[in-house]
Amino acid sequence: MSAPLGVILAGGRATRMGGGDKGLLTLNNATILTHVIERLAPQVAGIALSANGDPKRFAAFGLPVLPDPVAGYPGPLAGVLAGLDWAAGEGADRIITVAADTPFFPSELARRLMGAAEGMAHPLVLAATPHEAGERTRSMSRSGRVRHPTFGLWPVALRDDLRAALQEGLRKVVIWTEKHDGREAVFADAHAFFNVNTPEDLIEARRRAGTCGSMG
């Protein structure tokens, strides 16, 4: 089975960071986005960036920049759809998505997502981690795990279904994935999906990056 294409979701408004692109913040003398690209590149056959606004601000990365195909900033599913449309044009049948503000995600993400999709007519899998005591989350699955809906495996074959759902007002990722019997790929390390939402998170990410050394 050939490697999927990769799409980095960077379409959020970063309101808790005061606006701007969280992926362009620095971590270990490089942008967070640079770390995300370096972690994703060995796992996929090619990468595009899902982002709105002027694409020139990402010119240094040399990646295709995909704006939302649905108006009104409908959330990460619009970025997924942009990625699926791009992949269809590239002749691919599936994509892996990751978030632009999550620099420590697993190096075996793609392999584990694809493994969980074995036997599915349309491979649709979200990353998940065990729920920790005291942890607050709005994305708990029926299994009691925490889902990370920006980290997933998505089939190009369902892109028109997703487009119709978005046009009808759907915004919640898991409503759509559950409709299509989506699965979970469970990762033991919940901290691998730590993302930078606030200035305090950026301080913590820099601390972790220093602890992790090269972040390999």
- Token pair 């920049």 is at which residue? 65
Q: How far apart (Å, rounded) are the C-alpha atoms in residues 115 and 125? A: 10
**pLDDT tens-digit readout, 122-165:** 999 999 999 764 444 555 555 678 999 999 999 999 999 999 99
Tokens of 3: 């490697």
- Residues ≥6 apart with Cβ < 8 Å to 109: 40, 43, 96, 98, 127, 151, 187
CB atoms closer than 10 angstroms to residue 138: 8
Residues forming a β-bridge with 146: 129, 140
Q: Which of 15-19, 45-49, 80-84, 162-166 has the lowest mean pLDDT?
A: 15-19
Listed by start position, the domains of the chain span 5-212
Q: Is 185 helix (H, G, I), strand (E, B) or coil?
A: strand
Span 167-185, pLDDT tens digits: 999 999 999 999 999 999 9
Please tell me the least confidently modeled range out of 4-13, 27-36, 205-214: 205-214
**Bridge-based pairing state of the strands 30-31 and 183-186:** unpaired
pTM for this one? 0.89
- C-alpha angle 29-195-168 in degrees, rounded to nearest 5: 130
Q: What are the counts of helices (DSSP H) followed by strands (DSSP E) for the chain?
A: 6, 9
Query: Which option is the CATH number for 5-212: 3.90.550.10, 3.30.1390.20, 3.40.109.10, 3.90.1150.10?
Result: 3.90.550.10
CA distance linking residue 129 with residue 142, whole number of Å: 13
